[in-house]
Chains A and B, each alone.
Chain A
């Protein structure tokens, strides 16, 4: 079950567990601005092929713009 996290936990996961950050917004929004170190896999393209570059042994953190 996915775990909702806040900003502090995000920073801890990045620092202590080498978490992978994934922005799931469309490419133009990602290119406009994104969290440092994030990669872009838009929600509409999330599949086995596009997630192949993610390390399954490390945490994955997804985010979009806000809670909407």
Chain B
């Protein structure tokens, strides 16, 4: 729609017309603020937990486990040096006494959500996939944090 609007403006004589083609979906997916009647407290981004432990694919599992235990988490996201989410270490991997590389035991390509997603949609996805949390990423895959199911449910209860 915006390309047609941009061309329409040109036909109306405007000479400095730009088209933000990715639109407000892109804006919201990067956690940028939006204005309007929609309550931002019912979005994932408002309830994001950012201090989540991460590990890299090439480090040893036990090094990663130690960091996760210290942080008090039961999951760990595997990221590269740009903080792009590559995988996830779940409870089974974190409970293991073996010490392979993280890459050998991670679940690759975990489901992620954007900060602009409605809490209700995030909760539904976690329920359907039997998850207690989901990683939250920007649209370019960079990890922002996680959304916990209990936090999301509580927030939605308060908002309704």
Q: Which residues of A contact B (CB under 8 A)?
A: 1-7, 9-10, 13, 19, 22-25, 30-36, 38, 43, 46-48, 51, 54, 56, 58-68
Interface of A is mostly: loop
Q: How far is the CA of A7 from the CA of B22 in the complex (A)?
A: 8
Q: Given A5-B20, A66-B22 in contact, is the A60-B14 Cβ separation under 8 Å?
A: yes
Chain A residues whose C-beta falls within 8 Å of the C-beta of B82 in the assembled complex: none
A1, B18: Cβ atoms closer than 8 Å? no
Q: Are A24 and B1 in contact, CB atoms less than 8 angstroms apart?
A: yes
Judging by beta carbons under 8 Å apart, are B24 and A46 in contact?
Answer: no
Q: How far is the CB of B142 from chain A (nearest CB, A)?
A: 13
Q: Assuming the A-B contacts A24-B1, A31-B37, A43-B4, are A66 and B25 also in contact, with contact meaning beta carbons closer than 8 angstroms in the complex?
A: yes
Give 6 pairs: A residue, B residue, CB < 8 Å, sorted on A: A2-B19, A33-B37, A43-B8, A46-B12, A59-B18, A60-B16
Q: Are A56 and B14 in contact (CB under 8 A)?
A: yes
Taking CB atoms and an 8 Å cut-off, the chain B residues in 1-25 that contact chain A are 1-10, 12-25
Closest approach, in angstroms, between the C-beta of A58 and any C-beta of chain B? 7
6 smallest A-B Cβ distances: which pairs? A2-B6, A33-B36, A63-B20, A66-B25, A24-B5, A64-B1
Q: Is the interface of B mostly helix, strand, loop or mixed?
A: mixed
> In the complex, are the beta carbons of A1 and B34 less than 8 A apart?
no
Number of B residues with CB within 8 Å of any CB on chain A: 35
Determine whether the beta carbon of A63 is less than 8 Å from that of B2: yes
The minimal Cβ–Cβ distance linking A25 to chain B, given in whole angstroms, is 7
Q: How far is the CA of A41 from the CA of B153 in the complex (A)?
A: 37
B41 CB to nearest chain A CB (Å) = 13
Q: Does any Cβ of A come within 8 Å of B158's Cβ?
A: no
Minimum CB distance partner of B33 in chain A: A36
Q: Mark B112-149, 1 if CB is under 8 A from A, else 0.
A: 00000000000000000000000000000000000000
Contact A64 B23 (CB under 8 A): yes
Cβ of A35: which chain B residues have Cβ within 8 Å of it? 24, 27, 32, 34-35
* CA of A31 to CA of B34, assembled, Å: 11
In the bound complex, CA of A6 to CA of B3 (Å): 14
